[in-house]
Structure 1
Amino acid sequence: MTSVRSERGAAAVEFALILLPFLLIVSLVVDVGWVFSQQQAVTNAARIGARYYAIHHLEPSAQADAEQRANDVATAANVAGPITFSYPSTCARRAGLDAHDDCDRTDDELDRHDSGVRWIE
């Protein structure tokens, strides 16, 4: 009868020892899932903004509209924090010119040195 009495609290101790690692693993899975979800939402917002800008890049407000569309998508997906954007230099690198030369020349000068390839718009 003494052996049954000595094992009386063993189940509670075993439960306490297993509960903490189990809760840590569950919280880790939830946090990693949340981070992955946020990453996917930001990637999707960036894709939508970049696609809009690629199609409408000649419009005067294209840059602001692309940022607004991306922020709208991110807000709808409950992304924490603002989304910021960075753009490459507005000085276009064209055939036969260095990047430094582009910024010092006018559009007419750049067109004269252009390779002759034109976009159909």
Structure 2
Amino acid sequence: FRQLEELEEEHKNKIVSLKDSYENIIHSLKNIDNNADLPKALDTLISQVVGNTEGLGTLYNKVESDVSIQTNVREALLRSKENQLDELRGKLNDVIAESAQQIDQLTSE
């Protein structure tokens, strides 16, 4: 759970960072004085968008991997608990059968 909380916090920070980055880019685009600077500004914008997209993709893959690992661990734990429960049921059934046999022996004497 702690890892998920850390990833959630990282995701929130990344979103805030992206928002700030895009606001700065938009502000820069509004302040372009001549058309000669426009292609350079657009290239910068595209590069930042691509970088941010890759960053979010990496974060998504990390979250997906962590969730998958945690799911596998929980499934293994559940299987282990089910096996333990089956063993206990078997032992309980053996005790019940043995008790019934002893009761039959005592009542037949």
Compute the TM-score of the two structures, normalised by the length of structure 1: 0.44
Q: Which has the higher helix share?
A: 2
**What TM-score do the two structures reach when normalised by structure 2?**
0.48
Higher RCO, Cα 8 Å, sep 6+:
2
Larger Rg: 2
